[in-house]
């Protein structure tokens, strides 16, 4: 049965919660392919996207200037138990490429040289993500080309690792923002 229609105006708390949900949903919608594969493990009756949405509403929003904004430092696009990145940096490479660099920490815990490096880049004005799993943990660096239309725009960058067979992954690590081009 459907709930009865309510004609009462929403409270300030309800409006704030709706704004948070809309902002997080819009942001995560474009990262759905990553989240559906690499965000924790699905709990009984709860999809990975729902777990990610719940986390981000509670932990990754800032209330500034009367509105909510994503705090990219608190964003987790992957959530796992594989050993993550060490000494990672991000910088502009040649062309519109982003250069991801990290220390090879193979053979610590479950980390292996052939773990796939997952590079994730987000451009806010287009609400678009680009990601790649071309590099390996042992490579220690990877140049990720970005769309030419992102030139002159600020992007947010994360890194994660996925085991060779894709059965384990690390929690994503925020590397910061860059101006493309």
Residues 6 or more apart from 53 whose CB is under 8 A from it? 21, 24, 25, 28
Q: How far is CA 72 from CA 24, 109, 125, 130, 155, in A?
A: 12, 28, 14, 16, 11
pLDDT at res. 31: 96
Question: At CA 157, angle to CA 27 and CA 170, rounded to 5?
Answer: 90
pLDDT at 44: 62
Q: What is the pLDDT of residues 122-180, one digit of tens each?
A: 999 999 999 999 999 999 999 999 999 999 999 999 999 999 999 999 999 999 999 99
Q: What is the pLDDT of residues 84-125, one digit of tens each?
A: 999 999 999 988 899 999 999 998 889 999 999 999 999 999
For 170, the token pair is 């690390």
Q: So what's the pLDDT on residue 60?
A: 96
pLDDT band at 43 (very low <50, low <70, confident <90, very high): low
Work out the mean pLDDT of the chain and round it to a whole number: 93
Query: What pLDDT does 116 receive?
Result: 97
Token pair 């719940």 in the structure block, residue: 54
- CA-to-CA dists, residue 26 to 3, 22, 81, 115, 148, angstroms: 26, 6, 27, 30, 23
Q: Which residues contact 72 (CB under 8 A, 6 or more apart)?
A: 60, 122, 156, 174, 177
**What pLDDT, on the 0 to 100 scale, is given for residue 7?**
82
């Amino acid at each position: 049965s459907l709930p009865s229609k309510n004609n009462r105006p929403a409270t300030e708390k309800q409006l704030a919660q709706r704004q948070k949900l809309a902002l997080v949903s819009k942001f995560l919608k474009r990262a759905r392919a990553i989240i559906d594969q690499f965000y924790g493990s699905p709990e009984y009756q709860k999809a990975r996207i729902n777990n990610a949405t719940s986390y981000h509403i509670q932990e990754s929003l800032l209330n500034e200037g009367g509105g909510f904004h994503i705090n990219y430092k608190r964003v987790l696009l992957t959530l796992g138990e594989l050993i993550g990145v060490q000494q990672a940096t991000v910088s502009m490479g040649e062309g519109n490429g982003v250069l991801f660099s990290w220390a090879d920490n193979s053979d610590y815990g479950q980390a292996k040289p052939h773990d796939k490096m997952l590079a994730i880049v987000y451009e806010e004005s287009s609400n678009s993500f680009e990601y790649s799993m071309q590099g390996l943990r042992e490579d220690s660096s990877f140049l990720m080309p970005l769309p030419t239309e992102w030139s002159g725009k600020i992007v947010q960058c994360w890194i994660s690792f996925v085991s060779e067979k894709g059965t384990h992954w690390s929690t994503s690590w925020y590397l910061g923002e860059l101006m493309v081009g």
